[in-house]
Amino acid sequence: MRKILIAPSILSADLLKLKEQVQLAEENGADFIHVDVMDGNFVPNLTFGPNMVKALKQFSKIPLDVHLMISNPDFHIEHYAKAGADIITVHVEACTHLHRTIQTVHDFGKKAGVSLNPATSLSSVEEIIGEIDLLLIMTVNPGFGGQKFIRKGLQKINKAREMINNSGKDIYLEVDGGINRETAPEVVKQGANVLVAGNAIFGQNDIAAAIRNIKESVTGL
């Protein structure tokens, strides 16, 4: 049985209560804090910059999982690395020289993740699977929290698990978009081991119960 990690996304947090809510998530079983960085160009929404990562790093005790939904991520990796990101994930669709981008993340001593939009084939990461620490399969089109889970992603997760197992490397298989206690067991059955959840955790009144519910939904799978 593989350990399933929970990565609450602060996109759905109450920004005026961010510290309190993140601490609550940490005390109640969160494994990573997922930070959704959007630039209003790669995706039609604008969110946080390196300052947010720096602020979270001052009190967060668990890894900061920074999801860069931005164009030209190469220009910005240094800033997120220096701000305290532990995992830096870029989108394959935004990288012309993905191998170099992954190297840059590693040069800063950080874990490197690569993310695929729902319309992007897994074949786009076939040549670099052995170089990465995390593969992120999007099950919504990135840009907003609270969207509906795209079920076609289940097949991709299954194939991704096979690809990771064949690589012989220890690579996180993360899923992001529409994860809740109904969809969590479905993605875990296909091989996911890191679950991002925004609306289903920070969008709920009882954050502790929300994390517990997701954990319970995948226990024993």
Q: How many residues bind ligand DX5 (CB under 6 A)?
A: 22
Position among 50, 63, 113, 178 found at the interface with ligand DX5 (CB under 6 A):
178
Token pair listed for 118: 């729902």
Position among 41, 146, 162, 209 found at the interface with ligand DX5 (CB under 6 A):
146
- Window contacting ligand DX5 (CB under 6 A); options: 83-91, 106-114, 126-134, 171-179: 171-179
Rounded-to-5 percentages of helix, strand, coil across the chain: 40, 20, 40
By CB under 6 A, residue 12 contacts ligand DX5: yes
**Smallest separation (angstroms) from Zn ion to the CB of 168:** 27
**56 neighbors 16 (Cβ within 8 angstroms):** no
Task: Measure Cα distances from 151 to 18, 71, 141, 208 in Å.
Answer: 31, 26, 12, 27
- Window contacting ligand DX5 (CB under 6 A); options: 46-54, 151-159, 185-193, 197-205: 197-205
**86 neighbors 123 (Cβ within 8 angstroms):** no
In the region spanning residues 26 to 65, those forming contacts with ligand DX5, defined by CB under 6 A, are 34, 36
Has 36 been annotated as catalytic? yes
Cβ neighbours for 105, distance < 8 A, ≥ 6 positions apart: 77, 81, 88, 90, 111, 112
Has 107 been annotated as catalytic? no
- Active-site positions read 36, 176
Residues at the contact surface with ligand DX5, assessed by CB under 6 A: 9, 11-12, 34, 36, 67, 140, 142-147, 176-179, 196-200
